[in-house]
Structure 1
Amino acid sequence: MEQFKGLQKSLYIWTDNADLDKRVEQLKTATGGEVALENVHRLSFASYASSSFDLIVIECAQLTDNYVKLLHMLKPSGKLHLISFIGAAGSLLQEIKLSGFINCREDSDNTLTAEKPGYETGSSARLSFAKKNSSTLNVWKISGDDDELIDEEDLLDEVDKQKPDPASLKVCSTTGKRKACKNCSCGLADELENEKKQENAAKQTENAKSSCGNCYLGDAFRCSSCPYLGMPAFKPGEKVQLVDNLLKSDI
């Protein structure tokens, strides 16, 4: 591990207690820095901050779900070192590369080494060809005198300014007119039916006559068949709109 000399903070991930103290001392001697310990089965519960270590040493490679986490735990250009790994080195190196590591290699002493890129995960930088070009800043600037511009209001006549009747806007897509087709499902048929009922109600109101002449005084002066029964009193001669359900009353 002489290649890791000078690294200040390392994490040693272990699987068993056999000679653990000896291995930790060897790592301290090789790096000359601090060494923290973590069990491989407890790594998923660990809460180390990002960019915490210069070096992470693992006793085995049974960390399929945690290589990305190790990448975040390493400082930029930090090293990942696997010893006594299990399985084919080629597939393991591929897995480490897909997790974001670079410079992945198999060493001669049955170990694997990889490196975190020299920038923090999630950082960004401006591309060299993304510089602002001052010649393109005024592409949409209009040249010429303001007198040449046309007033938009001059393009409209009085007919264009008139608001259309909302009732005329809804037409049947089949007939092309304000007339419902035979199998209407857009609601136009119901709307036309309601309009017809309102027109009939208005006509019946106009034709409603009082036989006693006291209907305007209120229910106390109205007979049992009075069309104004249940309505408040009103002034003589005042036009009153009868409710549709009153017009259909069987009384």
Structure 2
Amino acid sequence: MSTKGSILALTDDVMVSASTILGVVRVLQIEGCNGTDPLIITQATSLSQLPLESSSIDVVISISRNIEFPSDHLYKEILKVLRPGGSIVVHHTSPSTPQQTGKATSSIERKLLVAGFIEAQSVQLEPALATLSFGIRAKKPTWTVGSSFSIKKTTESLPKVQIDDDLELIDEDSLLTEEDLKKPQLPPLGDCEVGSTRKACKNCTCGRAEAEEKVEKLGLTVDQLNNPQSACGSCGLGDAFRCSTCPYKGLPPFKLGEKVSLPGNFLAADI
């Protein structure tokens, strides 16, 4: 059972000839198996496990008319009895069209890969084996599940950059001018505040003129802005609480008796 070149043939048929098995071995040129008497198991679909020791077979050949043979469970059993590096050959004898053959081949290759086999590929058959419509061959990996090995990682060293000692480096501070080093002067606070006693400058660009124009449209005096009062007590809460004739309508909320301060985006468009 453990000699080199051992062959196991599986089929779901009641019987299969030994010459068919040996013909497959000869056509595929399986090394070390010529002249070897194969072990043949018929009606293999009824088996829950193969009656063989683990890693005791070099080649397993499956011959069937049924595309569903071998089953997923049987593939796992085949993987168990094969030696590391052993081969499995799956042949189907039912005649089929090229389109059907292509679909069946892809399905079997996927099953082999899922079961743990590698290098699954189609094999060419000779006219002498015309009854075998197509075949797929795969291998059991030489490594075992759970094994580990180190990967040699090659590190490429960075090229050395040589700097000439005579090379003059530029001082970053020399790139700044005197104007760049000057601290920016901010405008004095409240100088352009709307509602102050001073009017907006001619050709005003800070927005004060537009703010004063908007306040004038509201009909408010400087006193109403500096010391706002309310008869109903709701004017300072905002437009949602003001009546339709409220003189402060359109202004932001404020505290009664305190100067109304307009936000910086008072003149910004809503859209």
Q: Is TM-score (shorter-chain normalized) higher than 0.5?
A: no
* Structure with greater proportional helix content: 1
Could you state the TM-score of these two structures normalised by the residue count of structure 1?
0.43
Could you state the TM-score of these two structures normalised by the residue count of structure 2?
0.40
Say which structure, 1 or 2, has more relative contact order (CA 8 Å, 6+ apart). 2
Larger Rg: 2
